[in-house]
Amino acid sequence: MADDSDDDKTEEPTDKRIADAIERGNTPVSREIAYLTSLIAYLLIEIYVLPSATQELVGAISHFLDDPSGWRMETSGDVTQLIRLVGAIVARFVGPAVLLLMAFGVGGSVIQNPPRIVTQRIEPKFSNLSPLGGLSRLFGPRGWTEFGKSALKLGAVGAVVGLIVASQRVAWVEAMFVDISALPRRLLTVCIAATTAVALALLVIASADFTWTRIHWRRDQRMSRHEVKEEVKQAEGDRMLKARMRSLRMDRSRRNMMNNVPKATMVVVNPTHYAVAMRYVRSEGGAPTVLAKGTDLIALKIREIAFENDIPVIEDKPLARSLYEAVSVDAVIPPEFYRAVAELVHLIQSKRAAWPIHRRRLN
């Protein structure tokens, strides 16, 4: 059967469809969020890292320039030591910035979707090498959408930077008459202002893109009526299989329970709707244990097995119903039933000699 076209996919995606898409790694991802988090990292670097790190770097460079002859370069060990020293200085300058960029880059992905390992996403797909497929992606609706977003970002960033530069005209003119050592601080202040403004503009764009990406992704997950029907049939098949397995487990449990009835020492009934088989032998110790219980047909079967094995069957409507509702199979009776069951045990032991075979029943 031919695949359903996009025009036929008019039904909202089911929870299973969405879960399967996420399991395959098909999740909504906004690139603008990644750009925004990276820009925030740059802003933090400009505010907290560059001032102190730059002073340390400038101090190290000045030390090299002021006394270049103080560094021995006679042996390979001297060169190695110098390289290590320079590497340490560069690492202290670049390291915090790299860590911030990495942390915010990963955070930009994590805040959109929980991380998961999907091997299908890294498998090579030769269909992606098709020139026609590439052109359709570039000049298709999605390609034009990405082009529009990029143009919007470029225009917003250009406008913001232009406004910042225009507002700093007086500061640029004054910079020609101030001490040259103050220029880096002035430039850093302008960069921080420009980065902050661009980040605010990108925040608006990223919020809109984040919403649009999720709406577009959910629209891509839409299903046709045929797909919905097939999924329902599959789900019903799974439910029928689970129901069958559950029925088999119950039958097996019921057979095991019935096999334990001959071990019982008494059966309490009500009179045909409930039946509870218990075992109590003083030499075994412990409280009486419920070996089997049931209602209606199962209760009749328990009574039948009890008669066949000369097990006393006692009618006690309140006790039978209470035991059935309160005690599980293979569990000992709770203390609140001790007195009532003890009276039955005493009654059975006192009349056991006169108990007729195959018809032992007390009213």
Q: Any idea which of 112-121, 182-191, 197-206 has the lowest mean pLDDT?
A: 112-121
- The per-residue pLDDT for range 7-64, each reduced to its tens digit, is 577 788 888 888 888 788 788 888 888 888 998 998 998 888 888 777 777 777 777 7
Share above pLDDT 70 across residues of the chain, in percent, rounded to a whole number: 80
pLDDT tens per residue, range 110-158: 888 877 776 666 666 666 666 666 666 666 666 777 777 778 777 877 7
Domain count, the chain: 2
Stretch 79-89: mean pLDDT, rounded? 81
Whether 295 contacts 274, CB under 8 Å: yes
Is 206 found in the same domain as 148?
yes
Residues 19 and 139 in one domain: yes
What CATH number corresponds to the domain at position 273?
A: 3.40.1690.10
Q: Are residues 83 and 216 in the same domain?
A: yes
Is 3 inside a domain boundary?
A: no
Q: β-strands 313-315, 289-295: how paired?
A: unpaired
Same domain as 17, residue 134: yes
- Domain range for 284 is 259-362
Sequence-distant (≥ 6) Cβ neighbours of residue 57 within 8 angstroms: 89, 93
